Chains A and B, each alone.
Chain A
Amino acid sequence: MHKWFSLIQLFVVCGLVMGCGSSPESDTSDGASATSTNAGITIALLPKLKGISYFTSCAEGAKQAADELDNVELIYNGPTTASADKQAQMIDKWRLQGVDVIAVAANDPAVVSESLRKAQDAGITVITWDADAQAADRSFFVNQATAAAIGGGMVDVMANDLGGLDAAGDVAIISATATAANQNEWMQHMKTKLQSYPNLKLVATKFPGEDQNAAFQDSQDLIKKFPNLKGIFGISSVSFPGAAEAVKQAEKTGEILVTGLSTPKDMQPYVKGGEVKTVVLWNTLDLGYLTVYAAAAIRSGTLKPGATEFTAGRLGKKQISGDQILLGDVLLFTKDNIDQFDF
């Protein structure tokens, strides 16, 4: 009994001690314990999630860049699901380990905000890539395309493939979860863009989550329910192949077009088969490459706020607009060019 009470006391004391220290306002920890020496810059690259080709190819490009720059050490890790909370935990650990740069593709700007801010306060360079965080939480954003360009681009591509401004018919969007931040942003812009095509009608939006079978089932159901369905937007890496497969199995290849964001390799069979005419993306290898070059340059002071352009290795000169480093245009992959790309 006595022992038991002392254990409780021990825990109470530990709890209070830990508690007193963990509040940021009273945190008097000094800055990042590792300073960037000339000997090396540690860059931590954080994707939205780890297991999909999109980010794996970005990481490949990033590794190329790290190899070219001889004083850069690249750390690549990410959550296994698109969890902003797990990202925040990783950012916190990297801060404590004293990395020099953290480059984040944020799953959700609000959730990672405090972790990023603390990292900046500790002297770490924070930049974002692919998906931005709140502007105050990072110094630069390596941007491949704005949400408007992505959402609008997908709609333009679909309309174009369906016949241009007079394109007519029903379209549907298959997203991921109802709360997925990026998809929601794109959808907003898609809906705006659709207004410029008066004869295209958005008839349904579906949220199958990350479940491929559900995405397939939803697409299958929509194909049956809407006989005038002409296009499906598969705007997640799970729903895009699911929708294309459903169109194929319903034998509507060519009658219903599927488009969305994907790496060319991932959708290549469907592009060849005709379910997909155009895949929208950008060069993900280049995105990762540019991010690492930018990270190293910002850290070493070569790239300062206010600069309007920046030379990134084999990519040459890249434009900077405000605090956004621009990769370049959206790329469209079709039957004609899809074999040229190795990602």
Chain B
Amino acid sequence: MGNSVALRDRLRARLGSRKTQGVALAVLIIMIILLPLFANNYIEEVATNTLFYIVLALGLNIVVGYAGLVDLGYAAFFAVGAYTTGIFMKFGVNFWLTIPIAVLFSVIAGIIIGGPTLRLRSDYLAIVTLGFGEITRITARNLKITGGASGLVGIQRPSIFGHILNQITDFYYLFFILVVLAVIVAMRLHNSRLGRAWQYIREDEDAAEAMGIDPVLTKLYAYMIGAAFGGIAGAFFAVKMTAISPETFAFTQSAMILLAVILGGMGKIPGAILGAAFLVLFPEIFRGIGQTRMLFFGILLVIIMVFRPQGLWPERKG
């Protein structure tokens, strides 16, 4: 027992050193950049999907991990972003110009959802966000402008410097850039004044309020920023898929993204990345067992929570 603890400490010291981390990161990035040279279309597709979920998980991590708020309706923001881009592109707006609009709309959605509900108890918040997620989906299904139940089809591919992005490799790199940006923003936020305020509120809301932090406003910022991440991811999702339908944004979608954040360990950036990667790769690897994989997912979630309530890679305290 004593030996294993010592081993663990040594391992931690070795892994924890900046140099090792830097080298590992560099190797990882080079591998990711070179992947399309070796991989076939299927692997690239799965990898692109993984990158996409990483962006979503990093966004939700701000809400759930940093600020400690439950959100069971994150797919709503993702939906707002995707539909905004889809609809504006139908009217002939350039894809790159729709991104700020998508962000604006999803942030507004974040304010609408967060504004009245963030005063509530945490478990009420779970149900309200779930309700909003469902409202968004039902609204998309019932409105004409969103294409009803069949959704929007034939969304155009974007182009950059005259090069039309229509290959899977294009989207692979596009999402990779998005992930890098998302990681930088998430890291900067975590270490910012706002990030510390979130952490404080998460640990002790009353004490934070006594120190002059406005809890509702600070939580609302978490919602708005999380929504912006979802909106951007949604906009890119729309042009990658070229078709979106309301059922893409069902509750299972929200639950999966939340699962990624929780699995990895709330509040930790590598945790969110790991969780998202696991989330996409698990069903792909276990494709053979078909429908049963979601059953195992549920059981796994319970097991992880029972044995590691803080997640697989929790934020170290101290």
Q: Do A and B come from one complex?
A: no
